[in-house]
Amino acid sequence: MKAVVYKGPFDVAVEEVPDPTIQGPLDAIIRITSANICGSDLHPYEGRVEFESGMVFGHENMGVVEAVGAGVDRIRVGDRVSVPFNLACGTCRNCTDGFTSACLRANPSGQPGAGFGYPAMGPYWGGQAELLRVPWADFNLLELPEGTEHELDFTMLSDIFPTGYHGTELAKVAPGKTVAIFGAGPVGLMAAHSAMIRGASQVFVVDYQEDRLALAEEFGATAIDFSKVDVTEAITDLTDGFGVDSGVEAVGYQAHDHTGEEHPEMVLDALVSVVRATGAIGAVGVDNPSDPEGATEEAKQGRVAFDFGTAFTKGISIGTGQCPVKRYNRELRDLIIRGRATPGRIVSHELPLDDAVDAFDRFDKRVDGYTKVVLHPAA
Ligand SMILES: NC(=O)c1ccc[n+]([C@@H]2O[C@H](COP(=O)([O-])OP(=O)(O)OC[C@H]3O[C@@H](n4cnc5c(N)ncnc54)[C@H](O)[C@@H]3O)[C@@H](O)[C@H]2O)c1
Ligand SMILES: [Zn+2]
Ligand SMILES: [Zn+2]
Protein backbone atom coordinates (compact mmCIF):
# COMPACT_ATOMS: atom_id res chain seq x y z
CA MET A 1 0.00 0.00 0.00
CA LYS A 2 0.95 3.67 -0.24
CA ALA A 3 1.80 5.51 2.98
CA VAL A 4 3.35 8.73 4.34
CA VAL A 5 6.67 7.59 5.81
CA TYR A 6 8.83 9.57 8.23
CA LYS A 7 12.46 9.67 7.06
CA GLY A 8 13.97 12.30 9.32
CA PRO A 9 13.47 15.96 10.25
CA PHE A 10 11.68 17.88 7.48
CA ASP A 11 11.73 14.73 5.38
CA VAL A 12 8.64 12.64 4.68
CA ALA A 13 7.98 10.51 1.63
CA VAL A 14 4.97 8.83 0.07
CA GLU A 15 6.12 5.25 -0.49
CA GLU A 16 5.01 1.68 -1.04
CA VAL A 17 5.11 -0.27 2.25
CA PRO A 18 3.77 -3.75 3.11
CA ASP A 19 0.00 -3.95 3.69
CA PRO A 20 -0.91 -4.38 7.37
CA THR A 21 -2.40 -7.77 8.24
CA ILE A 22 -4.57 -9.19 11.02
CA GLN A 23 -2.01 -10.16 13.68
CA GLY A 24 -4.31 -11.09 16.54
CA PRO A 25 -7.97 -12.09 17.04
CA LEU A 26 -8.99 -8.61 18.24
CA ASP A 27 -7.51 -6.71 15.26
CA ALA A 28 -9.30 -4.96 12.44
CA ILE A 29 -7.95 -3.54 9.20
CA ILE A 30 -9.45 -0.22 8.13
CA ARG A 31 -9.43 1.13 4.57
CA ILE A 32 -8.73 4.79 5.23
CA THR A 33 -11.05 7.34 3.63
CA SER A 34 -9.70 10.39 5.52
CA ALA A 35 -6.52 10.96 7.54
CA ASN A 36 -5.70 14.45 8.81
CA ILE A 37 -2.35 16.11 9.32
CA CYS A 38 -2.19 17.41 12.90
CA GLY A 39 -0.22 20.19 14.59
CA SER A 40 1.22 17.38 16.73
CA ASP A 41 2.69 15.73 13.59
CA LEU A 42 4.86 18.82 13.23
CA HIS A 43 6.70 18.09 16.50
CA PRO A 44 8.49 15.02 15.05
CA TYR A 45 8.48 16.57 11.55
CA GLU A 46 10.53 19.49 12.87
CA GLY A 47 12.82 17.10 14.74
CA ARG A 48 11.71 18.45 18.11
CA VAL A 49 10.64 14.96 19.21
CA GLU A 50 12.61 11.87 18.24
CA PHE A 51 10.77 9.58 15.81
CA GLU A 52 11.89 6.33 14.27
CA SER A 53 12.74 6.59 10.59
CA GLY A 54 10.40 4.36 8.57
CA MET A 55 7.34 4.90 10.76
CA VAL A 56 4.06 5.68 9.00
CA PHE A 57 2.50 8.97 10.13
CA GLY A 58 -1.14 9.61 10.98
CA HIS A 59 -3.18 9.50 14.18
CA GLU A 60 -6.38 11.21 12.95
CA ASN A 61 -8.02 8.42 11.00
CA MET A 62 -11.36 7.23 9.71
CA GLY A 63 -12.48 4.72 7.13
CA VAL A 64 -14.32 1.51 6.38
CA VAL A 65 -13.58 -1.84 8.02
CA GLU A 66 -11.93 -4.15 5.50
CA ALA A 67 -11.20 -7.22 7.66
CA VAL A 68 -11.62 -8.33 11.28
CA GLY A 69 -9.93 -10.93 13.49
CA ALA A 70 -11.78 -14.00 14.79
CA GLY A 71 -12.47 -12.39 18.19
CA VAL A 72 -14.11 -9.20 16.86
CA ASP A 73 -17.89 -9.52 17.18
CA ARG A 74 -19.30 -5.99 17.46
CA ILE A 75 -17.58 -4.21 14.58
CA ARG A 76 -18.26 -5.75 11.16
CA VAL A 77 -16.63 -5.67 7.77
CA GLY A 78 -18.12 -2.72 5.85
CA ASP A 79 -18.73 -0.57 8.95
CA ARG A 80 -17.74 3.09 8.61
CA VAL A 81 -15.69 3.99 11.68
CA SER A 82 -13.72 6.73 13.42
CA VAL A 83 -10.42 5.62 15.00
CA PRO A 84 -9.53 7.47 18.25
CA PHE A 85 -5.91 8.59 18.29
CA ASN A 86 -5.43 6.87 21.65
CA LEU A 87 -5.06 3.13 21.22
CA ALA A 88 -6.28 1.34 24.34
CA CYS A 89 -6.84 -2.20 25.61
CA GLY A 90 -10.19 -1.46 27.26
CA THR A 91 -9.55 -3.68 30.29
CA CYS A 92 -6.65 -2.24 32.31
CA ARG A 93 -7.14 -0.10 35.38
CA ASN A 94 -6.78 3.22 33.56
CA CYS A 95 -9.01 2.14 30.65
CA THR A 96 -11.78 0.95 32.99
CA ASP A 97 -11.49 4.31 34.79
CA GLY A 98 -12.13 6.03 31.43
CA PHE A 99 -8.55 7.12 30.82
CA THR A 100 -7.92 5.47 27.47
CA SER A 101 -5.22 8.13 27.07
CA ALA A 102 -3.17 6.34 29.71
CA CYS A 103 -3.78 2.67 28.86
CA LEU A 104 -1.35 0.52 30.79
CA ARG A 105 -1.16 -2.36 28.32
CA ALA A 106 -1.09 -0.97 24.79
CA ASN A 107 2.38 0.59 24.80
CA PRO A 108 5.12 -2.09 24.88
CA SER A 109 7.57 0.49 26.30
CA GLY A 110 5.61 0.31 29.55
CA GLN A 111 4.76 4.00 29.39
CA PRO A 112 1.05 4.73 29.96
CA GLY A 113 -0.73 5.67 26.73
CA ALA A 114 -0.39 4.43 23.16
CA GLY A 115 -1.36 5.74 19.77
CA PHE A 116 -0.94 5.48 16.02
CA GLY A 117 1.99 6.82 14.04
CA TYR A 118 3.43 8.93 16.82
CA PRO A 119 6.69 9.09 18.81
CA ALA A 120 6.75 7.24 22.15
CA MET A 121 3.23 5.89 21.56
CA GLY A 122 4.26 2.36 20.60
CA PRO A 123 5.15 0.60 17.35
CA TYR A 124 1.76 1.16 15.69
CA TRP A 125 1.80 2.53 12.18
CA GLY A 126 -0.42 5.51 11.47
CA GLY A 127 -3.23 5.96 8.99
CA GLN A 128 -1.80 8.43 6.48
CA ALA A 129 -1.90 5.34 4.31
CA GLU A 130 -4.36 3.23 2.39
CA LEU A 131 -4.82 0.75 5.26
CA LEU A 132 -4.49 0.78 9.06
CA ARG A 133 -4.33 -2.04 11.59
CA VAL A 134 -6.36 -1.35 14.75
CA PRO A 135 -5.82 -3.71 17.72
CA TRP A 136 -8.69 -4.18 20.25
CA ALA A 137 -11.02 -3.11 17.45
CA ASP A 138 -14.35 -3.68 19.24
CA PHE A 139 -13.26 -1.39 22.06
CA ASN A 140 -11.51 1.34 20.09
CA LEU A 141 -13.63 1.90 16.99
CA LEU A 142 -16.60 4.27 16.92
CA GLU A 143 -19.34 3.41 14.43
CA LEU A 144 -20.53 6.11 12.03
CA PRO A 145 -23.58 6.21 9.77
CA GLU A 146 -22.79 4.48 6.46
CA GLY A 147 -22.20 6.47 3.31
CA THR A 148 -20.10 9.55 2.77
CA GLU A 149 -22.15 12.25 4.48
CA HIS A 150 -20.39 14.50 7.05
CA GLU A 151 -16.96 13.06 6.13
CA LEU A 152 -15.10 16.27 7.02
CA ASP A 153 -16.98 16.64 10.29
CA PHE A 154 -16.56 13.00 11.32
CA THR A 155 -12.84 13.03 10.53
CA MET A 156 -12.39 15.54 13.38
CA LEU A 157 -13.71 12.95 15.90
CA SER A 158 -10.43 11.01 16.07
CA ASP A 159 -8.55 13.81 17.83
CA ILE A 160 -9.05 17.53 17.62
CA PHE A 161 -12.80 17.89 18.24
CA PRO A 162 -12.64 15.73 21.39
CA THR A 163 -9.33 17.41 22.35
CA GLY A 164 -10.81 20.91 22.05
CA TYR A 165 -13.84 19.69 23.99
CA HIS A 166 -11.56 18.17 26.65
CA GLY A 167 -9.89 21.58 27.04
CA THR A 168 -13.28 23.09 27.84
CA GLU A 169 -14.12 20.20 30.21
CA LEU A 170 -10.84 20.68 32.15
CA ALA A 171 -11.60 24.44 32.18
CA LYS A 172 -15.09 23.72 33.61
CA VAL A 173 -16.95 25.57 30.87
CA ALA A 174 -20.69 25.61 31.59
CA PRO A 175 -23.74 27.68 30.54
CA GLY A 176 -23.11 31.39 30.96
CA LYS A 177 -19.37 31.07 31.61
CA THR A 178 -16.78 33.29 29.96
CA VAL A 179 -13.84 31.61 28.22
CA ALA A 180 -10.44 32.66 26.85
CA ILE A 181 -8.79 30.26 24.41
CA PHE A 182 -5.15 30.76 23.45
CA GLY A 183 -4.25 29.40 20.02
CA ALA A 184 -6.52 29.57 16.97
CA GLY A 185 -5.04 26.42 15.45
CA PRO A 186 -7.36 23.50 14.85
CA VAL A 187 -7.40 22.54 18.54
CA GLY A 188 -8.16 26.09 19.72
CA LEU A 189 -10.89 26.43 17.08
CA MET A 190 -12.44 23.16 18.25
CA ALA A 191 -12.27 24.43 21.83
CA ALA A 192 -14.11 27.58 20.71
CA HIS A 193 -16.78 25.49 18.94
CA SER A 194 -17.09 23.30 22.05
CA ALA A 195 -17.36 26.29 24.39
CA MET A 196 -20.24 27.68 22.31
CA ILE A 197 -21.95 24.26 22.29
CA ARG A 198 -21.59 24.13 26.10
CA GLY A 199 -23.40 27.46 26.41
CA ALA A 200 -20.58 29.89 27.20
CA SER A 201 -21.76 33.50 27.20
CA GLN A 202 -18.51 34.94 25.83
CA VAL A 203 -15.62 33.19 24.07
CA PHE A 204 -12.33 34.93 23.26
CA VAL A 205 -9.74 33.37 20.96
CA VAL A 206 -6.20 34.75 21.09
CA ASP A 207 -3.65 34.33 18.26
CA TYR A 208 -1.92 36.55 15.70
CA GLN A 209 -2.65 34.56 12.53
CA GLU A 210 -5.38 36.56 10.86
CA ASP A 211 -6.86 33.74 8.77
CA ARG A 212 -7.24 31.57 11.87
CA LEU A 213 -8.73 34.39 13.95
CA ALA A 214 -11.29 34.92 11.18
CA LEU A 215 -12.33 31.27 11.53
CA ALA A 216 -12.67 31.73 15.30
CA GLU A 217 -15.16 34.51 14.61
CA GLU A 218 -17.11 32.17 12.33
CA PHE A 219 -17.60 29.94 15.39
CA GLY A 220 -19.03 32.92 17.28
CA ALA A 221 -15.90 33.86 19.24
CA THR A 222 -14.35 37.31 19.70
CA ALA A 223 -10.90 37.36 18.08
CA ILE A 224 -8.01 38.95 19.99
CA ASP A 225 -4.83 39.61 18.01
CA PHE A 226 -2.00 39.59 20.55
CA SER A 227 0.35 41.32 18.12
CA LYS A 228 -1.95 44.35 18.15
CA VAL A 229 -3.42 44.65 21.66
CA ASP A 230 -2.50 43.93 25.27
CA VAL A 231 -4.42 40.67 25.82
CA THR A 232 -5.00 41.01 29.56
CA GLU A 233 -6.22 44.56 29.18
CA ALA A 234 -8.52 43.69 26.26
CA ILE A 235 -10.10 40.67 27.97
CA THR A 236 -10.40 42.45 31.31
CA ASP A 237 -12.21 45.35 29.62
CA LEU A 238 -14.57 43.08 27.71
CA THR A 239 -15.50 41.17 30.90
CA ASP A 240 -16.34 44.29 32.95
CA GLY A 241 -13.04 44.07 34.81
CA PHE A 242 -13.72 40.55 36.07
CA GLY A 243 -11.57 38.33 33.85
CA VAL A 244 -12.79 35.02 32.43
CA ASP A 245 -14.10 31.98 34.31
CA SER A 246 -12.26 29.50 32.11
CA GLY A 247 -9.07 29.42 30.06
CA VAL A 248 -7.85 26.94 27.46
CA GLU A 249 -4.20 26.51 26.49
CA ALA A 250 -4.20 25.25 22.87
CA VAL A 251 -0.66 26.26 21.90
CA GLY A 252 1.85 24.08 23.77
CA TYR A 253 5.61 24.27 24.26
CA GLN A 254 6.22 26.29 21.10
CA ALA A 255 4.35 29.37 22.37
CA HIS A 256 6.00 32.37 20.76
CA ASP A 257 5.71 36.11 20.37
CA HIS A 258 4.62 37.65 17.08
CA THR A 259 8.21 37.76 15.82
CA GLY A 260 8.42 33.97 16.21
CA GLU A 261 10.69 33.94 19.28
CA GLU A 262 9.68 31.12 21.64
CA HIS A 263 8.70 31.81 25.25
CA PRO A 264 7.28 28.54 26.58
CA GLU A 265 5.74 30.26 29.62
CA MET A 266 4.01 33.13 27.86
CA VAL A 267 0.59 31.56 27.30
CA LEU A 268 0.39 30.08 30.80
CA ASP A 269 1.35 33.48 32.24
CA ALA A 270 -1.34 35.18 30.15
CA LEU A 271 -3.95 32.62 31.24
CA VAL A 272 -3.09 33.05 34.91
CA SER A 273 -3.51 36.76 34.37
CA VAL A 274 -6.89 36.70 32.54
CA VAL A 275 -8.61 33.86 34.44
CA ARG A 276 -10.45 35.14 37.50
CA ALA A 277 -9.68 34.00 41.04
CA THR A 278 -11.02 30.41 41.54
CA GLY A 279 -11.39 29.92 37.78
CA ALA A 280 -10.02 26.95 35.82
CA ILE A 281 -7.53 26.32 33.03
CA GLY A 282 -7.49 23.35 30.64
CA ALA A 283 -4.01 22.95 29.17
CA VAL A 284 -4.27 20.64 26.15
CA GLY A 285 -1.37 22.10 24.13
CA VAL A 286 1.48 19.60 24.31
CA ASP A 287 4.53 19.95 26.54
CA ASN A 288 7.26 17.31 26.61
CA PRO A 289 9.59 16.00 29.34
CA SER A 290 12.52 17.08 27.21
CA ASP A 291 13.03 19.31 24.18
CA PRO A 292 16.66 19.45 23.04
CA GLU A 293 15.89 22.55 20.98
CA GLY A 294 13.96 24.34 23.72
CA ALA A 295 14.36 28.10 23.97
CA THR A 296 15.95 28.04 27.44
CA GLU A 297 18.02 25.62 29.54
CA GLU A 298 14.88 24.86 31.58
CA ALA A 299 12.76 24.30 28.48
CA LYS A 300 15.31 21.77 27.19
CA GLN A 301 14.44 19.70 30.28
CA GLY A 302 10.70 20.23 29.94
CA ARG A 303 10.64 22.73 32.80
CA VAL A 304 8.43 25.76 32.24
CA ALA A 305 8.75 28.65 34.69
CA PHE A 306 5.33 30.31 34.71
CA ASP A 307 3.55 32.44 37.29
CA PHE A 308 2.49 29.59 39.56
CA GLY A 309 2.58 31.89 42.58
CA THR A 310 -0.25 34.01 41.22
CA ALA A 311 -2.11 30.91 40.05
CA PHE A 312 -1.97 29.57 43.61
CA THR A 313 -2.96 32.88 45.17
CA LYS A 314 -5.96 33.08 42.83
CA GLY A 315 -6.87 29.47 43.57
CA ILE A 316 -6.95 28.57 39.88
CA SER A 317 -7.30 24.88 39.02
CA ILE A 318 -5.23 23.60 36.13
CA GLY A 319 -5.96 20.39 34.22
CA THR A 320 -3.57 18.93 31.67
CA GLY A 321 -2.92 15.98 29.44
CA GLN A 322 -3.81 13.96 26.42
CA CYS A 323 -7.51 13.75 25.62
CA PRO A 324 -9.23 10.43 26.37
CA VAL A 325 -11.10 10.53 23.05
CA LYS A 326 -13.57 7.75 23.84
CA ARG A 327 -15.00 9.77 26.72
CA TYR A 328 -16.50 12.27 24.28
CA ASN A 329 -16.52 10.99 20.70
CA ARG A 330 -19.93 9.26 20.73
CA GLU A 331 -21.81 12.36 21.89
CA LEU A 332 -19.80 14.67 19.63
CA ARG A 333 -20.66 12.35 16.71
CA ASP A 334 -24.34 12.69 17.55
CA LEU A 335 -24.09 16.49 17.66
CA ILE A 336 -22.74 16.29 14.11
CA ILE A 337 -25.49 13.93 12.95
CA ARG A 338 -28.17 16.19 14.44
CA GLY A 339 -26.66 19.31 12.86
CA ARG A 340 -25.55 20.92 16.12
CA ALA A 341 -21.80 20.70 15.45
CA THR A 342 -19.86 21.43 12.26
CA PRO A 343 -16.17 20.89 13.08
CA GLY A 344 -15.35 20.21 9.41
CA ARG A 345 -15.67 23.92 8.71
CA ILE A 346 -11.98 24.37 9.57
CA VAL A 347 -10.76 22.14 6.73
CA SER A 348 -8.70 24.22 4.32
CA HIS A 349 -7.36 21.49 2.03
CA GLU A 350 -8.51 18.05 0.88
CA LEU A 351 -5.67 16.29 -0.91
CA PRO A 352 -4.68 12.88 -2.26
CA LEU A 353 -1.97 11.00 -0.33
CA ASP A 354 0.57 11.84 -3.05
CA ASP A 355 0.39 15.53 -2.07
CA ALA A 356 1.35 14.85 1.55
CA VAL A 357 5.02 15.89 1.20
CA ASP A 358 4.09 19.32 -0.06
CA ALA A 359 1.23 19.61 2.45
CA PHE A 360 3.57 18.90 5.41
CA ASP A 361 5.94 21.58 4.17
CA ARG A 362 3.24 24.23 3.72
CA PHE A 363 1.35 23.37 6.90
CA ASP A 364 4.63 23.54 8.84
CA LYS A 365 5.41 26.96 7.39
CA ARG A 366 1.86 28.06 8.30
CA VAL A 367 1.50 29.20 4.70
CA ASP A 368 -1.54 31.43 4.62
CA GLY A 369 -4.72 29.41 4.68
CA TYR A 370 -3.14 26.05 5.64
CA THR A 371 -5.34 25.51 8.68
CA LYS A 372 -6.29 21.85 8.45
CA VAL A 373 -5.29 19.35 5.80
CA VAL A 374 -7.28 16.17 5.20
CA LEU A 375 -5.68 13.44 3.08
CA HIS A 376 -7.92 11.07 1.14
CA PRO A 377 -5.82 7.96 0.35
CA ALA A 378 -8.47 6.53 -1.95
CA ALA A 379 -8.60 9.68 -4.09
N1 LIG B 1 -3.85 17.06 24.55
C2 LIG B 1 -4.08 16.39 23.44
O3 LIG B 1 -4.60 15.29 23.47
C4 LIG B 1 -3.72 17.00 22.10
C5 LIG B 1 -4.27 16.48 20.93
C6 LIG B 1 -4.00 17.12 19.72
C7 LIG B 1 -3.15 18.22 19.68
N8 LIG B 1 -2.61 18.68 20.85
C9 LIG B 1 -1.71 19.85 20.88
O10 LIG B 1 -2.48 21.03 20.87
C11 LIG B 1 -1.65 22.11 20.40
C12 LIG B 1 -2.37 22.85 19.30
O13 LIG B 1 -2.57 22.00 18.19
P14 LIG B 1 -2.94 22.61 16.77
O15 LIG B 1 -3.08 21.47 15.82
O16 LIG B 1 -4.06 23.56 16.91
O17 LIG B 1 -1.55 23.36 16.48
P18 LIG B 1 -1.12 24.62 15.61
O19 LIG B 1 0.34 24.69 15.74
O20 LIG B 1 -1.75 24.52 14.26
O21 LIG B 1 -1.80 25.89 16.34
C22 LIG B 1 -1.20 26.57 17.40
C23 LIG B 1 -1.61 28.04 17.28
O24 LIG B 1 -1.07 28.73 18.40
C25 LIG B 1 -0.72 30.03 17.98
N26 LIG B 1 0.20 30.62 18.95
C27 LIG B 1 1.55 30.51 19.06
N28 LIG B 1 2.00 31.25 20.08
C29 LIG B 1 0.92 31.86 20.63
C30 LIG B 1 0.75 32.74 21.73
N31 LIG B 1 1.79 33.19 22.43
N32 LIG B 1 -0.51 33.17 22.02
C33 LIG B 1 -1.58 32.77 21.29
N34 LIG B 1 -1.48 31.89 20.24
C35 LIG B 1 -0.24 31.46 19.92
C36 LIG B 1 -0.12 29.80 16.61
O37 LIG B 1 -0.11 30.99 15.85
C38 LIG B 1 -1.05 28.74 16.03
O39 LIG B 1 -2.12 29.29 15.29
C40 LIG B 1 -0.34 21.45 19.94
O41 LIG B 1 0.60 21.53 20.99
C42 LIG B 1 -0.77 20.02 19.73
O43 LIG B 1 0.32 19.13 19.82
C44 LIG B 1 -2.89 18.10 22.04
ZN1 LIG C 1 -3.78 15.15 16.26
ZN1 LIG D 1 -5.86 -0.26 28.86
Nearest CA residue ID for atom 40, ligand 1: 285
Query: What value does the mean pLDDT take over residues 300-307?
Result: 94
pLDDT per residue as tens digits for the range 43-87: 999 999 999 999 999 999 999 999 999 999 999 999 999 999 999
Give pLDDT, residue 279.
98
Query: What value does the mean pLDDT take over residues 346-364?
Result: 96
Distance of CA 184 to the CA centre of its chain: 12
188 lines ligand 1 (CB under 6 A): yes
pLDDT per residue as tens digits for the range 24-45: 999 999 999 999 999 999 999 9
**Which ligand is closest in space to the CA of residue 127?**
2
339 band by pLDDT with thresholds 50, 70 and 90? very high
226 lines ligand 1 (CB under 6 A): yes
Is the domain of 207 the same as that of 315?
yes
Q: Which of 306, 315, 253 is nearest to 279 (CA)?
A: 315
> How would you class 340 by CB atoms within 10 Å of its CB: exposed for 0-12, middle for 13-18, buried for 19 or more?
exposed
Give pLDDT, residue 146.
96
Whole-angstrom distance, CA of residue 270 vs CA of residue 249: 10
pLDDT per residue as tens digits for the range 164-202: 999 999 999 999 999 999 999 999 999 999 999 999 999
Q: How many CB atoms lie within 10 A of CB 210?
A: 13
Is the domain of 265 the same as that of 345?
no
181 lines ligand 1 (CB under 6 A): no
C-alpha triplet 213, 218, 220: angle, nearest 5°: 100
Whether pTM > 0.95 for this model: the answer is yes
Query: What value does the mean pLDDT take over residues 367-377?
Result: 92
CATH number of the CATH domain containing 187: 3.40.50.720
Query: Average model confidence (pLDDT) for the chain?
Result: 97
C-alpha of residue 56 to centroid of ligand 3, in Å = 23
260 band by pLDDT with thresholds 50, 70 and 90? very high
**Which ligand is closest in space to the CA of residue 164?**
1
Give pLDDT, residue 367.
85
Is the domain of 6 the same as that of 91?
yes
369 band by pLDDT with thresholds 50, 70 and 90? confident
At residue 264, does pLDDT exceed 90? yes
Whole-angstrom CA distances from 207 to 53, 185, 268, 274 are 33, 9, 14, 15
Is the domain of 251 the same as that of 181?
yes
120 band by pLDDT with thresholds 50, 70 and 90? very high
Give pLDDT, residue 110.
93
Give the list of residues 6+ apart from residue 379 with CB closer than 8 angstroms, or none: 350, 351, 352, 353
212 lines ligand 1 (CB under 6 A): yes
256 lines ligand 1 (CB under 6 A): yes
Is the domain of 151 the same as that of 65?
yes
C-alpha of residue 158 to centroid of ligand 1, in Å = 17
Nearest CA residue ID for atom 27, ligand 1: 255
Is the domain of 32 the same as that of 122?
yes
Give pLDDT, residue 230.
97
Mutation to probe ligand 1, out of 57, 204, 207, 228 (largest number of atoms < 8 A from CB): 207
CATH number of the CATH domain containing 107: 3.90.180.10
Tell which of 272, 301, 320 closes a domain.
320
368 band by pLDDT with thresholds 50, 70 and 90? confident
C-alpha of residue 211 to centroid of ligand 2, in Å = 20
Is the domain of 131 the same as that of 84?
yes
C-alpha triplet 343, 338, 373: angle, nearest 5°: 20
Is the domain of 333 the same as that of 199?
no
159 lines ligand 1 (CB under 6 A): yes
130 band by pLDDT with thresholds 50, 70 and 90? very high
Give pLDDT, residue 169.
98
Overall domain count for the chain: 2
37 lines ligand 1 (CB under 6 A): no
pLDDT per residue as tens digits for the range 210-245: 999 999 999 999 999 999 999 999 999 999 999 999
Query: What value does the mean pLDDT take over residues 125-145?
Result: 98
267 lines ligand 1 (CB under 6 A): yes
Is the domain of 238 the same as that of 313?
yes
137 lines ligand 1 (CB under 6 A): no
Is the domain of 136 the same as that of 153?
yes
Tell which of 293, 320, 347 closes a domain.
320
Nearest CA residue ID for atom 29, ligand 1: 255
Is the domain of 261 the same as that of 328?
no
Whole-angstrom distance, CA of residue 210 vs CA of residue 369: 9
285 lines ligand 1 (CB under 6 A): yes
Give pLDDT, residue 348.
95
Is the domain of 49 the same as that of 68?
yes
Tell which of 279, 304, 320 closes a domain.
320
Query: What value does the mean pLDDT take over residues 302-310?
Result: 96
123 band by pLDDT with thresholds 50, 70 and 90? very high
**Residues spanned by the domain of 172:** 160-320
Report which secondary-structure segment, H or E, holds 280.
strand 275-283
At residue 378, does pLDDT exceed 90? no
C-alpha of residue 167 to centroid of ligand 1, in Å = 12
- Which of ligand 1's atoms lies nearest the C-alpha of 208? 37
Helix intervals (H) in the chain: 42-45, 93-96, 137-140, 151-154, 160-170, 186-197, 210-218, 231-238, 266-274, 297-300, 308-314, 329-337, 356-364
C-alpha of residue 89 to centroid of ligand 3, in Å = 4
Query: What value does the mean pLDDT take over residues 341-357?
Result: 97
